[in-house]
Amino acid sequence: PGHGKKFMAKDGKVSFFINAKAASLFKQRIKPVKLRWTQAWRRMNKKGKTDETTKKRTRKVAKFQKAIVGMSLEDIKKKKAQKPELRQQAKEAAAKEAKARQTVKKPAAAKAVPKGKAAGPKAPKNKGGSGGANPAAATKKYMGSR
């Protein structure tokens, strides 16, 4: 009861037209965005909106420090407060100490390897190719049979 016509498309979409004008334009495949009197056109061209929503402000993330494994927050703050030169010297000292530890470990590791076996890396058995019994057949495949 009331005004309008209901139209069911083959794909199952249901459209309800308020009058014959709207139904006719739909059947002609005229887009509602191109008709000035439609809501779609008004939405597209930003007409009639009196209460415009203001842009939502995003909150800036507050930075804070946490203690990490092996260092408390106080230790981290002390390190940050140090002068860059002192930090650089401490870094170099730590690097030297690590290198010294490595040189101590190397002779011990060399003694652990038995004299009969070589410590070098093993060469691969298959150096590319198809891996078949006949290597000539593998090259023939890429060159094309004549």
* pLDDT tens per residue, range 17-65: 999 999 999 999 999 999 999 999 999 999 987 666 677 788 888 888 7
Model pLDDT, residue 88: 86
Query: For residues 67 and 74, what is the distance between their CA atoms, to the nearest angstrom?
Result: 8
The answer to whether the beta carbons of residues 4 and 19 sit under 8 Å apart is yes
Burial class of residue 111, CB neighbours in 10 A (0-12, 13-18, 19+): exposed
pLDDT band at 87 (very low <50, low <70, confident <90, very high): confident
Range with the largest mean pLDDT of 26-30, 72-76, 78-82, 137-141: 26-30
Model pLDDT, residue 135: 59
**CA-CA-CA-CA torsion for 36, 42, 47, 53, nearest 10 degrees?**
-170
**Burial state string for 119-143 with b = 16 or more CB within 10 A and e = fewer than 16:** eeeeeeeeeeeeeeeeeeeeeeeee
Model pLDDT, residue 70: 83
Q: Estimate to the nearest angstrom the gap between the alpha carbon of 73 and the chain centroid.
A: 32
Please, what is the average pLDDT of the chain? 80
Q: Which residue has the higher pLDDT, 78 or 26?
A: 26
Model pLDDT, residue 32: 95
Amino acid identity of residue 98, one-letter, is A
Model pLDDT, residue 73: 86
Q: Give CA separation, 133 vs 9, 126, 141, 142, in Å.
A: 66, 12, 14, 17
pLDDT band at 104 (very low <50, low <70, confident <90, very high): confident
- Record the tokens describing residue 10, joined without a space: 């083959």
In the block, tokens 């002609």 appear at 28
Please name which of 66, 131, 25 lies closest in space to residue 33, comparing C-alpha atoms. 25
The percentage of residues in the chain with a pLDDT greater than 90, rounded to a whole number, is 36
Model pLDDT, residue 24: 96
Give the three-state DSSP class for 81. helix
- Record the tokens describing residue 42, joined without a space: 């008004």
The answer to whether the beta carbons of residues 91 and 98 sit under 8 Å apart is no
Q: Is pLDDT of 122 > 90?
A: no
